[in-house]
Structure 1
């Protein structure tokens, strides 16, 4: 009788533990997919705007932002500015993900929230069109873009220890730290260089496109590295199970 009672209580507990592990796995998969998705969207953006533009007879623009007002050479389409749909949609998606993503410290959350808001502002305030004038739009566009990348640079350079402390191997921690510092400084420097190039030249040149693309690819690299690091350290699992405390 005792054995039956013990067996009867053990089975539900095992099921509860199994359900709990399944739910934890679901949460971990969601967070990892979110990080990887942000990286993938960013990495593909410079490539897609060029290829998408070519498919609508739009020549290669001097900057990524210029695709907002790049007119199509094909009049038999639903929109005169087909790349605008992808450009704005991607920025809104990335902005939403950055704002909703919860990091491992309050300061990381503040930086990511600010970056997310700035991504939406970049979409809402396009750079000047060659055929028209939009008061202050250019300044807001470039200002929001710079703040976005500076927030991400801060996250990469100054907040990586929030999760790296969970990796016991000193050599591995050092390698991740080097990678975070590299992509962080890339994100900080390349958008500023792009702004300087755009303002100092008579008209934007192809160099501006590559400078912007480098900053975007550094943004993508950060999320790929973060995904790999947290998978290595099982940081998401430790956070989900309460095995680590949240930093300030």
Structure 2
């Protein structure tokens, strides 16, 4: 049984709703590959974390993508709150969206990468938000907002999204929710290894925090593409390409 009814397909408002979800998933899907290709091409290496691309030539890619995700989420209406729910889709999405904007515009502590031919590097200039609340406070805002953002996604995947008549999609959502939790645990473990476990070089050389964050973002993308029925949209596009209407 299709998860999208024929009446939904003929309703432009419903289809627009799906396209917003798809756009949200696409932005998240392409962010890590863009940073990987850009980082290797422009700097010859990856940064230690996704957040540290704020201090790279790819700053606009990082902040622009997060800002787009934040605006999408804040504008996301979702379903009205049910009697058995503590909060609605819209409240959860708004919290996640605000968190994404805070991650984008309140940078964490920067990696100090020395320019070519120099033994020591000059720390990057402070941003407006760092000047307003301080570098350390900005880092705290950034890190806490990132945690809140991912936890909101976990709630979406484990609690909100599975409330569907589809037989298959709830399993995908739940797998995404647990996947994000595993990614968060991996990030926390890598951070602990670098900070207190004496394995900072190992963590940095293998970019463990970056890959943990990238995995979380990719899983987030999969969840929203599934919620936006991107699979059905792709199949419909393929059918039109193979058998165009005369």
Aligned to 2:79: 104
- Which one of the candidate residues 36, 50, 57 is aligned to 2:43? 57
Structure number, greater radius of gyration = 1
* Cα distance change, pair 218–161 in 1 and its aligned pair in 2 (3 A): closer
- TM-fit CA distance, 1:228: 2.0
Residue-by-residue CA offset, 1:146-180 (whole Å, 9 max, x unaligned): 11111111011111344x1xx3xxxx52x222111
The 1-side partners of 2:215 and 2:71 are apart by: 22
Q: CA deviation at 1:230?
A: 11
Q: Structure 1 residue 93 and structure 2 residue 68: aligned?
A: yes
Unmatched 5+ stretches in structure 2: 1-6, 82-87, 113-122, 125-133, 234-246
Instruction: State the secondary structure of the residue aligned to 1:135.
Output: helix
Question: Aligned pair in 2 of structure 1 residues 186, 105: CA closer, same or farther (>3 Å)?
Answer: farther
Structure 2 partner of 1:221? 222
Please give the alpha-carbon distance, in whole angstroms, between the structure 2 residues aligned to 1:45 and 1:229: 18
Offset of residue 189 of structure 1: 3.3
Count of aligned residue pairs for this structure pair: 193
When residues 208 and 153 of structure 1 are mapped into structure 2, their CA distance, relative to the original with a 3 A threshold, is same
Q: Tell me, yes or no, if the aligned pair for 2:96 and 2:153 is still in contact at 8 Å.
A: yes
How far apart are 1:134 and its partner, in Å? 1.1
**Residue 120 of structure 1: which of 85, 101, 118 is its match?**
101
1:22, CA displacement in angstroms?
11
Distance of 1:231 and 1:100 partners within structure 2: 24
**Length-normalised TM-score, structure 2:** 0.70
Deviation (angstroms), 1:193: 2.8
C-alpha distance in 1, partners of 2:50/2:230? 30
Gaps of 5+ in 1: 1-20, 71-81, 233-248
Counterparts of residues 93-172 of structure 1 (less than 5 Å): 93-106=68-81, 107-129=88-110, 130=112, 131=123, 134-162=135-163, 164=164, 167=165, 172=166
Which structure features the higher share of helix residues? 1
TM superposition shift of 1:124: 1.3
